[in-house]
Amino acid sequence: MSVRINPSILAADFVNLERDIAKISNADLVHVDIMDNHFVPNLTFGLQMTERIQQVSTIPLDVHLMITDPDRWAPDYADLGAYGVTFHAEAAADAVGLARTLRAKGARAGIAVKPGTPIEPYLELLEEFDQVLVMTVEPGFGGQSFMEETMPKLTLLRELVDKRGLDVWLQVDGGVDERTIEIAAAAGADTFVAGSSVYRGDDPSLRVSELRSKASAHRHAH
């Protein structure tokens, strides 16, 4: 089980995104948070901005859609060439149909659940997805505290993914830092979104390496 560190450019300098993406050249993917001010009370990038990021980034994009009507919009992000597109279970009309569309367009399909959303309805559908994102904060804003009460979802997902021999990445997003990444890795996560904990230091690439080694040391024993 390899560990992936996907820094969130929500914590980068929007005026100098190309520069700030270059500072995390050792990251696995660049996490791009798309918020529409409807599904979450915040507004960030859209399709045009993501297309531009895709053009300048040497690292593949991990797009996280916190938007209403992902059934309508998510395929457009796959068409841009995003490596992975993750949409919210709470917002999708047909999660399986949408995941199949994304895969058909060549993107990895991810499904995300908010902290209060039960994971059980999706457990029988795991092979339809390439990634499950367990939100460890309420989606919408960076800099929130990690919610440890979401960890049982991860443990359950890890158990089932391993038992069924699936290639499904288990991602956490929200409040991930040097301390909480160890908790999430021990619970079964293998893919970690980190924003402020990467970009608040002088050397973001060093932070990526530090987070990777912490996660690797604590990752879930098989």
Residues classed as catalytic: 33, 173
Return the structure tokens found at 98: 């949408």
Contacts of residue 17, Cβ cutoff 8 Å, sequence gap at least 6: 9, 53, 56
**Rounded Cα gap, residues 195 and 174, in angstroms:** 8
Cβ contacts of residue 14 below 8 Å, gap of 6+?
none
**165 CB-side CA count, 13 A:** 0
173-194 burial, b for 16+ CB within 10 Å, e for fewer?
Answer: bbbbbeebbbbbbbbbbbbbbb
- Joined together, the tokens standing for residue 144 give 């929130």
The alpha carbon of residue 197 and the mean position of all alpha carbons in its chain are separated, in whole angstroms, by 15
What whole-number distance in Å separates Cα of residue 198 and Cα of residue 10? Answer: 11
Q: How far apart are CA 201 and CA 113, in angstroms?
A: 29
